[in-house]
Structure formats: structure tokens, C-alpha cells
Chains A and B, each alone.
Chain A
């Protein structure tokens, strides 16, 4: 796994308490993984702290899947 994907994977597991589940890039954050808008803010803040990049509310509302989140972060400068 690329470093950004690994960080996303870890953060999603921790916040979503998804310990033993596989998180595919196509997994939908809300429908498949059960994140609501408040839990997604926890995800955003943890990713920001880990990567030093902003994940604004608009992006958070736009992204649908774990893969799209990774794409966004890479586009804005994550490894």
C-alpha cells in the first residue's frame, strides 16, 4: 500500500472501529463503512494532523469512497 492509503486505512479503522474489515478503495464511506458527517470530521482532522494538509468541509462532503479521499490528498500534496 502507498503511504497515503496506509494512513487513510489506519484512520478509517480507528475512527470507524472497523478492526477486522477489509477497506477497499471502492468502499463508500457513508453507505458501506457507516461514517456519518460528524465521524467524517474526525477522519478529516486526523488526516490533517497526520499529513499536514487541509481537508476542507467541501471536499469532505464531495468524496464518496476511500479511494477518492486518497486521490484528493495526493492531488494536494500527500506522498
Chain B
């Protein structure tokens, strides 16, 4: 049986973000070499952070990069939901305190700067098979193979193409034939603030949701010693998003106005950053097919979600581990069936998390006096019971060939 990987099966990964790098690393760990084509001339990430939950950190530990990641991460003290104006604690659960989260889910919860995460993944890959400055502009069938054309004039052929090229994926367009990214009707301001510039903030080491009318603010600490606070402030609107990218210019006043009248800790945090852009939040509608022939998509390309469960990157890491593990058990003759089994393993889970994140948006944005507030408070008090299934998941275990299927 011919081995998957070079020279028998050339694998091209489009996109060197969280998904592409994790996939390349997981394949390498399994003895499969792949090429990664990333449009950016350098692996530098925009200034923002990401929260990694146990469903991802258990995989990063298996990849041998969790110690590097831990050194640049902060585990939140608690998860707290607060009311927007008086800052009242509505519900709180220990995370790092008593190692409650790790004990329950078997791996830590980390806040980390995206650049540090990318450095850890890219560093472990040590440049092997990584081709920067390669923006995919065209994709076509070439006999049995697929041909990829890049903006820099180069072209390559591959036998398996994996699109990890994000929410505006070009590989997805090849797979589904359409544009499936949808503007969610919500947008966000974000920033990173040194913790000593936030004197009004209660529990600065916690991950906290401040919930108010038509908006919420989420923040958590990052950076090894919790020295910085990453925040993400979501507002309803604008109604339409005519901009060509997911960033649109704003003035400082627009950002401040969106949170006027909120608790001083919130206005202080928003005001600590010079806002020049807001981010439109896009999703990908649940897709029937993640693959076409020998091209497949994963991560945001396949299932971008609103970020209210902080699960976009985590589910992307699950996808990458699942696919790498399946390929390591696969055979070249069965690639197309393998890709449909891959989506069979992933479609329901990611769609549930997509939906759950969307529903959470409405829960976080209730006006004062809404009859739904009592239900909201009850729900956020049931966080571990209601959302434990997201964190307890073990992607590697889920990808093991079942005895009945693997006989083939």
C-alpha cells in the first residue's frame, strides 16, 4: 500500500494560520510531509489574542508545543459574567483557582497572543515545507492532480489540497462554487492593554463577560504573567457591511460612544486603545460539502463562527488533528472517501458550536428590564453543565478508525 505523503501523494496546505500550521505539524509528527503556502511574506499576526480551551490544549500537548505556549499564556483565575452598568457579578466559576478547569477537562485554558501561538507552531515546524509570499489566486484540475497558481507567478501541482485559508477562503470557492461567508450583523472593537492601565478593573486576571443592551465586552489576560489584558467588544450593527475586507475605519468617538454609560472599568478599557478600525464578524453558513474530489477545507474556511464561545481557533485545531490522524491511517486509493468521512466526523460538532455561539450573542445583548434576563442569569450560572461538551471533546480519540470501518 503506497504511503500518503511525498513522493506518492503530494499534499498542499493553503494558508499558514492556526489551522494550516497545526495540520502541517500534526502530519509531520506522523511522518507525512506537506507543503504550506501562505500569502503573507512573514508569519506575523495582527495584534490580538486567542483563548485556547482544553479541546485544543490537549492536542497541542500531544504535538509537543504546549510548554512553549504555556510560557506565553495566562490561565484565567475565574470565568465571570457581569452586568454592564453596576458591574454586579451574575455568575462565577473557578478556572485556574484550585486548577478546577484542568481537573475537570484534563487540559488547561490559556489566553495567548496570536503571534506567540503562531511562533510556537511555526517554530516547531522550523520552516520545513513553509512557503511564504504565496497567495493562491487560481485552482484547477490537471488530470488526476490539482494545479495551484499563486500571485507571485509560481504554480505547483498537488494530489491533495487542504484549504486552511480562513473565512474568505478561495479553496472553499473551488469546493462549493459559491461565496458562503455571511456578515453576522455584528462588529467588534478590540485591543490589548497593559493591566496597570486598568485600575478600575475588578478581577483583572479573570475571563469576564460584561453583558449589556445591544453589546458585550469580553476580556482575559495574556502574556505569561498576565501582564496584558486582551479585550473584544461586540456591538450590534452596522446593518450592512459594504467594505471589501473585514476591517472598516472608525473614529475614536464611535468606539467610545458604543460603550458610553457602561461601568468605569469598561469605558477605561475601551478608551485605553486608539481605535482606527472595527471588525465585521463573519460566519460561514453550514455547508453540505467540505470537499470536492481531492480538495478539502477546514477551520474558518469550513465553519467560521461568531466568536462568543471563543471556539473558532479551538475547533480549527480539532479539525487539523482529526484530518492528520485520518490521513496517517489512510491509503492513497481511498482519499476521496477519507475526505467524506472527515466531514462526517466534523460537520455536526462544528455546526452545533456555530449555532450555540450565535444564540449566545442574543443572550449577551439583552436590554435592561427584558423579561429574558432571568433566563439569561440562570443560563450563565449553568455554564459548566451546558457547555462542558465543548471542552471535554477529544479530537484524536474521535479520529481513531472504528474496528468495523478500518477493515477496508
Chain A residues in the interface with B (C-beta under 8 A): 37-38, 41-42, 44-46, 48-49, 52-54, 56-57
Contact = CB atoms under 8 A, between A and B. Distances in A.
26 contacts: A37-B355, A37-B359, A38-B352, A38-B355, A38-B356, A41-B348, A41-B351, A41-B352, A41-B355, A42-B348, A44-B351, A45-B347, A45-B348, A45-B351, A46-B348, A48-B288, A49-B344, A52-B288, A53-B288, A54-B286, A54-B288, A56-B285, A56-B286, A57-B286, A57-B351, A57-B355
Interface in B259-314: 285-286, 288
Contacts of A54: 286, 288
Interface of B: 285-286, 288, 344, 347-348, 351-352, 355-356, 359
Interface residues of B: mostly helix, strand, loop or mixed?
Answer: helix
The 4 closest A-B pairs by CB, nearest first: A45-B348, A41-B352, A38-B352, A45-B347
Nearest to A53: B288
Contacts of B352: 38, 41
A44 to B, nearest CB: 8
Contacts of A56: 285-286
A49 to B, nearest CB: 7
Contacts of B347: 45
Contacts of B359: 37
Contacts of A48: 288
A38 B348 CA distance: 9
Residue among A46, A53, A57 with max Cβ neighbours from chain B (10 Å) = A57
A35 to B, nearest CB: 13
Contacts of A52: 288
A62 to B, nearest CB: 14
A13 to B, nearest CB: 17
Which among B285, B347, B348 has the highest number of chain A CB atoms within 10 Å?
B348
B113 to A, nearest CB: 32
Contacts of B286: 54, 56-57
